[in-house]
Structures are given as C-alpha cells and as structure tokens.
Amino acid sequence: MHTLDDAVMTSVNPTPTFFLSDKVEHDDLKNLTFTLVRLGTDVERRFGISGEVAIFHAPWGDFQRRSYNAIANDLVEISNGCQSSSLGKVRFTPTTKLAVVVSNDASAAKKVAEWSHDDSSPTTIVVLDAAALTTMAPHEMRVALLKEIRGRLGDRDLYQAQNPVSGDDFFGRAGLLRDLSSSVLADQNIAIFGLRRSGKTSVIRELKRSLLSRGVVITIVDMQLVTASSLGDVARSALTALLEDLRAARAAAGVRVTIGNDSDGLVDGASVGNLADRVRRIASRNPSLRIVIAVDEVEHLVQMAKTDPQEVRAFLGALRSCAQVAPNVSLVFSGVANQVFLSSSLGPEHGRVDNPMFGQVNPTFMTPFSATETTDLIKGLGRPMFLRWSDEAVAAVHSVTGGWPFFVRQLASAVRSSIESEETSQIGDDADVSLRSVEAVLETWRRGAARTWAETIQALELHYPDAAYLLSPDVDADSLNDWIRNDGEVGEAAECLEDLGLLVRSQSGHRFSESLTALRALAGQGPIKRLVRAEERDLIALAASPEGQRLEFKSSARIDLATQERKAKHIEEAVLKTVAAFMNADGGDLLIGVADDGSLVGIDPDLALFNSSVDRYERWLLGDLLSRALGEAAVMRGVTVTFPKVRGCVVGHVVVEPSAEPILVNDSGLYVRLGNQTKRLEGRELLDFIRARG
C-alpha cells in the first residue's frame, strides 16, 4: 500500500519524511501516528508554506473536537514532545500554517470545516479520507492532497508582485547583482537608476538578503514621503532601522553584532548634524561587519533642493560623512534620475549650493530583461504553480512586454488566471501554456498595461521632464534626433535613456530600442498622450495659429539670422515696435524663437550672446531693450516674459497687456496693431488716436 510519503516524493524532494513517531503523548491524541514531511519546494512556494508539515494518522472512527483543538492549538508542543521522546532533542519545527489529518472517520472533513469557522488558530487543518487513500496510486494521492490544500489555503499567484520581492520570488539580474555585490564589498558608493517599477527596490532587498551571510548589513531609507522640513526625522528613523537590522542579523544569521547599552541614546536627539558621528560609533563597535545605508527614491531630494537647497546639501553631506568617518560604511542610492550626482550644485538658478555627492557614486542602470531572464522568471515561477510554458508562449510575452519585468509578471499572471479557470479539474497536473493562451488575454492586458506605462512616464516627468518627453508618443523615429540635436539637456536625457536600454546609438544617431518600441505600441491601447506643461501646450497652440491682431512671431530679438549680425538694430527695433503696438491696441502675445511660418527655431542664437544665460537675456530684454525705449513703469506694469522649452527649443513668450495711456518708442514714435501688421501713426491718425485715449 502506498503512503503520503510516496505521493510527495519527487526528483527535487527525494526524501520527504524527516521524522516519524507512533508515541504521541497527549491525552486527546491516543494511538495516533505523527509524521513530519516536506512537501517539496514547488508546492511549498505555491502555497506559502515554510518548513516541515505535520501529518497525523488518526485511526479512530469518530474524529472529535478535542482532538481537533489539540492539533490546531498545540502543534509545536506536540512535535517537540515527540522529538524529545524519540531523539532526545528537538531538531525540526513544523510550520504552523498547515497540518494534515488522515482519518478513518468519513465525516471528519465536514466536521473540521465547521469547527474551523469559530476557531482563531493560525493552523489550517486539511483532512484526507484514509479509506479512499488505500485505493489510490501515488500520483492520485498527490492530486487529492493538493486539491484539499488548495481548497483550504487557496493559491498564491507567484507572478503577482505589487511589492518588491526577494529570495525565491526574485528572478533575473544575476550579472547586475554580482557587480553590485562586488562594489559593496569593495567599499564603493553605488547608485541604481531605473524607471518606476523596474525593480530597483527589489534589487536592494535582494542585495540585503544575499549579502547578510557575508557580514553585510543593509539599512533601507525610503525618501518618498520625506519633506525638507522632516529631513531631521530621517536621521532618527535611519538609526532606528540600522539598530533593528543589526539585531535581526544577529538573530537570523548568527552574525556577531555589538550594539551597546546606549542604543536608545544613539537614536534620541539624532539629527542630520550628528548622524555621521552616531553611525561611526555603531560601525566602530562592529569592525567585522560592513554597514550600508541605502537611500531609496533619491529623486525626491532633487525636488526638495528647488526650495530648500541648504537642507538637502546638509543631508547629503551627512550621508557622505557617514561613508568617510568609518572604513566599514558605504552608501547605496536608487532612483529614476541621476542628476543629483551629475551636477556640482543643487537648487534653483538663484541660490544654488555645492553638491556634496557630486561624482561620489558609481552608477548602474536597470535595463529591460533579456530573453533569457524573461524565460527564467516565467518558467521558474511557473513550475511551483504547475504551469508548463512553451518556448513560443514565453517568446510572445517577452516580445509584447519589451522584457519590462513588471509587465512580464503582469502578463504572465493574466495568463495563469486564465489557465487556472480552465484547468480546475487538473490540480496536481502541469497545465500547458501555449501561444494561444497568451493571445487569449492580450487585448485585456494591453489596456491595463497602457495605463501603467502612462503613469510611468508621468512619474518620470516630475523629476526628469526631458527624458519623459523623449518617451512620449509625439516623438517619432524621424523627429527623435532633431530633438536631441536641438538641446543639450535633451541630449543628456537621451544618454540616460540609452543607459536604461530604451534608446540605441548608431552612426546615424539614436533610435528606439526593441524594448521601447514594444512599450510605445501600448500608446494606442490606453490613455497615453503627449506630456506637456500647460504653458507649453498653450504655446504649441499659439505657434500653430496665424499671426494676427494679438499674435506676432519673431525668429530672434537681437541677432540677424540671415546675415549673422550679432547686435542687429533693425531686429531689436522690430521687437520694440511690436510690443509698443500691442500696448497701444488690445495687448497680445509675442513669440521669440518662432519663424513666420510658425515653426519652432528657438532662441539659442540670441542666448549665445549672453553665455547661454536665460537670466541675463531676460534682464537685457525687459531692461536694456524694452524699459529704456518704452518706459520702465509701463513695462513693469504691462509686460511679462517666460522661457518655456517646447520640443527641445527654448522660446521667449512675451505677454503684453493693453495700456490705458499712449506708449511711445523712445518718446517719438507711436505704433499700433492693425491685423497682423505693426503700423506707425502720423499726422491726423496720430491726433485722432491721442484724442480717443484722452
């Protein structure tokens, strides 16, 4: 007769039984056989079971409530007693999530289902009919066992990963992890860059898990909800988390850790100013350990620096000091953009401060999965869920997702759900996943994926707008390199996207990678649209309109683009006259850097005369040009100028309000707007205009 040991025996679980005893010393479990078995890693991962499972062989014809209560509430004590009696010590600790009862009572399963409704025990009891098992082959026993476990515990969808993963659920990035591990062990500060949901936090958590056995303790500090005013709180929370991680390392991995009696004092009163000293004290007590402070979502510091550069500078300086004051402390950063480490200064153009972390990290980038990594994830996580994927089906998932890990998991999960609904009668057997299985869910999946990709671009726009623009659908293959050539900052964004595996550089310029091409194909499936600021959107609309009573285009305000005359008086006077005419009429918009046909040419030639400083150009335009000729009070009252970037071009947008008083150019000429023309009034027309205004 076959046993459950035969049923759960597989090539990866060749010796399921770890312990067996027929002496259970418990008043409510007389004459019962107790076994500890492993169900195999595939089954354990599928149902979230960790450790040995207790199996009770109950010979009674009437399974009673007191026996149920004993198993449900005293499982570990029963196991410890049996092992102590037989082995003289306790070697195994069974999972408290699940216990199996093989009963001669045909109604035991029904009883247990009823009793479990009003029971608060964490242990789920699965009942198998002993008489039925005697007629089954090992494979049939396995199916019966898995059906009951699934019915009581439910299934885990291993593909679904809304939160960061590590351990057995982590797949891919083997080369990246090797490089990062080597860098950490070599005392290097590193930064991990990638788009939202590319797996940055999962990589850090996997590093934390995998390096613990090598004496590395990684503490993660999440900057997502931090504000400049609460950066001091980050110092306290970081120290608290570090002490907790040290205690956990000592308990879980047997790592030798010295915390000291003043651990509470290390946290109390902690601030950005004394963070480095307190980290140094902890590190000096543990010279055999490597302590790593990992700062996640670092892009939020860039946003904070726009309004509180000094606070951000102090925080980054404190982190740098942490890595400098002790030889066994280093830093890891992660985020969507690397500007925080590429720029020597932080903050707005007025009031910038030096950047302590400039050039202090070695960057690495989260690229899409290779076809091999996609295969490893899909098939590796599919095996515990009894899914047998065809190579054709895996290739289809990789193709339509572009190898983007989050989308690979999403689409595989959708396929699994579809397969499970069709294969409920085949629990315990591997279900075949074919190309048709993928195609059946593709349309529905694409709609959701389109929304997710749109959200990813929008999140990037907050911190790296130039990169977000290059990913938007309005930038096609033909205009991509025009964008990159027209603007240095866009060129830097293109280099970043190249590092992320989304753009590919060739002799003729940049092109979309296969991965980005697949992701861009989602644009037609959902709400992906051109990402532009409100001012940019308005300006695009203005440039597409014909010149008229309230709209004028000028390619430049100072340089003559035709002759390259650097300070062309006739160009400056044309701008002066247009602004004055708007003020003497109904007001209007003057776009500098837009040709007569509405095409965007940008003001870079003008800016070159001011060392590419927009601030200096603005002071010249409003002050030296307009205020001197039209009057400072009139210009301050009626003229504003902004410099939005539109499709890679900086444009001067001059907004002019109508004036209640006549505005003269250099106290002599009076100009008005007539349709799309600027006209100087003289003689009777001038007198009539002045009377009308008087």
253-268 burial, b for 16+ CB within 10 Å, e for fewer? eebebeeeeeeeebbe
Whether the Cβ atoms of residue 659 and residue 638 lie closer than 8 Å to each other: yes
CA 360/CA 363 separation, integer angstroms: 10
What CA–CA distance (Å, rounded) separates 473 from 450? Answer: 12
Give residues with Cβ within 8 angstroms of 546, minimum separation 6. 598, 676
Pinpoint the alpha helices (H) of 9-129: 41-47, 65-73, 75-87, 108-115
Distance CA 54, CA 256 (A): 33
Does the pLDDT at position 629 exceed 70?
yes
pLDDT at residue 247, as a whole number: 86
* pLDDT of 2: 62
Coil, strand or helix at 646? strand
Express each pLDDT in 243-282 by its tens digit. Answer: 888 888 887 656 788 877 766 567 888 888 888 999 999 9
- Our CA angle for 80, 84, 87, nearest 5°, is 125
Whole-angstrom distance, CA of residue 204 vs CA of residue 1 = 50
User: Cβ contacts of residue 613 below 8 Å, gap of 6+?
Assistant: 607
Element (H or E) spanning 101, and its range?
A: strand 98-103
The CA distance from 678 to 688, in Å, is 17
pLDDT class for 187, splitting at 50, 70, 90?
very high
Does residue 235 surpass a pLDDT of 60? Answer: yes
Three-state DSSP state, 6: helix
Interhelix angle 405-422/391-401, rounded to 10 degrees, is 140
Predicted pLDDT of residue 465: 82
Confidence class for position 389, pLDDT limits 50, 70, 90: very high
Task: Inform me whether the pLDDT recorded for 520 exceeds 60.
Answer: yes
Closest by Cα among 314, 249, 312 to 275: 314
End-to-end CA distance of the chain: 114
Please report which confidence band the pLDDT of residue 143 belongs to, taking 50, 70 and 90 as the band edges: confident
Mean pLDDT of 529-547: 69
Query: What value does the mean pLDDT take over residues 178-193?
Result: 93
Asked if pLDDT for residue 530 goes beyond 70, the answer is no
For residue range 68-112, list pLDDT tens digits in order: 999 998 998 899 999 999 998 888 889 888 999 999 999 999 999
Q: Please enumerate, as own/partner, the contacts of 628-631 that have beta carbons within 8 Å and a separation of 24 or more.
A: 629/576, 629/580, 629/665, 629/666, 630/576, 630/579, 630/580, 630/583, 630/663, 630/664, 630/665, 631/663
Given a cut of 60, whether residue 423 has pLDDT beyond it is no
Residue of 356, 458, 442 whose CA lies nearest to 399? 442
Which domains does the chain show, CATH number per domain? Answer: 4-153 (no CATH), 173-365 (3.40.50.300), 371-525 (no CATH), 534-693 (3.30.950.30)
**pLDDT exceeds cutoff 70 at 523:** no
Q: pTM for the whole thing? A: 0.66
Phi, psi of 211 (to 5 degrees): -90, -5
Contacts of 488 (CB under 8 A, 6+ apart): none
Contact 280, 253 (CB under 8 A): no
CB 480 within 8 A of CB 352: no
Confidence band (pLDDT; 50, 70, 90) for 231? confident
